[in-house]
Structure 1
């Protein structure tokens, strides 16, 4: 929970970091954990990173915050001496894309769904935090984009980057290292906490559940799952969170359908029997219930 709390304190920015805020990253350490094959998971502040190393060069998924780039590069150098060639962005939030500019300038090619480039290249507003996000500089923008999926044949693996439709945002991709049997979920999966759903960026609770179903369909019993936040996971744990989301989505939907207001739905405490396990992160039960209400209330009414 200490790790989750530390991540939560940083997550609320979800944007590039002002110079005065860089001090809070001074004591952050980047750790690496072997996952399977040549895939490692890196943890620090912000979203979890996946790294595939080998003779073709290093392949990375997400890159945390700009002030951590040098530490991330140092950690990767301890795993392999080949240059970083590709960086995949699972979505647009700054705790996953903050290092783009530094890594792009160092020669890495940034790859993402086309909606990620649209959002990082223009001003955004994250309604849940009432925060305006300035456009990223040109060097931080993905230079390769796709609409559905793209595949890398790299370091002896076949790495499929698959768009899963609106989920956490409208630009979410999962990254499947098929030979290593590893899936990076991005922020579709917050292991151990209620997940943030950025409704103002096109996310939805229904999309989160559908994206989890997509990942589970790709998984075998031994598949390793890298969540956007939290410890390394597996399909069984992902299924627990997927079922929790479906249960609470259905509960809140019934309250919405009965005509209750947002405040009334929050006051009804529909998550209370799950709060002990999932409600200890930065998405507190009341905040999360309100976000799910917003997601469901925005759905077109059935005729």
Structure 2
């Protein structure tokens, strides 16, 4: 019996390993050139931002640890300059998983204060992880870095996707990395368990809208590069679904009723509801967030 159990366990392990290896093998890191100095790298996980100047580079998010060799190869096709600064837009593993692989003695890792706390908790839960996942610098509300004529402004937006979201704006290049406070072309994931909220999410996007202009290139946390017009449309969509959800709550509808009520979001479902967050999950999230 134990022998059969061992064989079964080994088979499961080999199966899972094959899936993991296959997924890693099939991931291709693609590069979008947004300006002469700013790039977006897409692979598996959150979109990576890369700013390159004459002496160094600045990286935003790093996806999963297992993809780090591929990401480094992709970056090498753009520049051989060292990564002086690495920034995490928030705490989720598809944006911070490669921290230890990129946070070398030449690199300074920066996060919002709450992200640092989350990563400290991750170390406690998984002590086998490297301490290099932790940032050397954290900030509360705003931080500016000056790089060869470019001003890089990072600012915290409260209780949006999580409790530790930050956007990064390259002022001269006019590129804004919004992290997961924007899922371009798809419904957003609002992590209620980690401090996210519908009101905070919409407020964060409105803050971005005030900052940018019609020529700004937006790097979303997921999806294709975007712009002010598309973000404005996205905000209007979220506000409409929010108002429909509030009306349903005021009429006494339950969570189950709102989740199954297609009229709340149906005019947007074909355009935005085919991603990770389907219409039912979105309506559920809106109800729970707005009911509290």
TM (norm. structure 2) is 0.89
The alpha-carbon deviation at position 273 of structure 1 amounts to: 1.2
Superposition pairs of residues 1-303 of structure 1, within 5 angstroms: 21-105=20-104, 107-123=106-122, 137-269=130-262, 270-298=264-292
Aligned residues: 274
- Which structure would you say has the larger RCO, counting Cα contacts within 8 Å and 6 or more residues apart? 1
CA distance in structure 2 between the aligned counterparts of 1:257 and 1:21, rounded to whole angstroms = 46
The alpha-carbon deviation at position 55 of structure 1 amounts to: 2.2
CA deviations over 1:25-80 (Å, ceiling 9, x no partner): 11211111111230011111111111000123110011111111111111111111
CA distance in structure 2 between the aligned counterparts of 1:41 and 1:174, rounded to whole angstroms = 15
The alpha-carbon deviation at position 258 of structure 1 amounts to: 2.3
* Greater C-alpha Rg: 2
Contact 1:166/1:202 (CA < 8 Å) preserved in 2?
Answer: yes
CA distance in structure 1 between the aligned counterparts of 2:17 and 2:290, rounded to whole angstroms = 34
The alpha-carbon deviation at position 170 of structure 1 amounts to: 0.5
CA distance in structure 2 between the aligned counterparts of 1:19 and 1:86, rounded to whole angstroms = 34
Q: What SS does the aligned partner of 1:243 have?
A: helix
Q: What SS does the aligned partner of 1:225 have?
A: strand
Tell me the equivalent position of 1:11: none
Q: What SS does the aligned partner of 1:121 have?
A: helix
The alpha-carbon deviation at position 257 of structure 1 amounts to: 2.3
Q: What SS does the aligned partner of 1:185 have?
A: strand
CA distance in structure 2 between the aligned counterparts of 1:137 and 1:271, rounded to whole angstroms = 43
Unaligned runs of 5+ in 1: 1-16, 125-132, 299-303
Q: What SS does the aligned partner of 1:296 have?
A: helix
Structure 1's consecutive aligned runs of 4 or more residues displaced over 2 angstroms after TM superposition are: 17-23, 133-137
TM (norm. structure 1) is 0.86
- Which segment is superposed worse, 169-178 or 153-162? 153-162
- Which segment is superposed worse, 267-276 or 182-191? 267-276
CA distance in structure 2 between the aligned counterparts of 1:252 and 1:51, rounded to whole angstroms = 38
CA distance in structure 2 between the aligned counterparts of 1:239 and 1:177, rounded to whole angstroms = 20
The alpha-carbon deviation at position 123 of structure 1 amounts to: 4.9
CA deviations over 1:206-229 (Å, ceiling 9, x no partner): 111111111111111111111111
CA distance in structure 1 between the aligned counterparts of 2:92 and 2:84, rounded to whole angstroms = 21
Q: What SS does the aligned partner of 2:59 have?
A: strand
The alpha-carbon deviation at position 168 of structure 1 amounts to: 0.3
Contact 1:45/1:64 (CA < 8 Å) preserved in 2?
Answer: yes
- Which segment is superposed worse, 104-113 or 216-225? 104-113
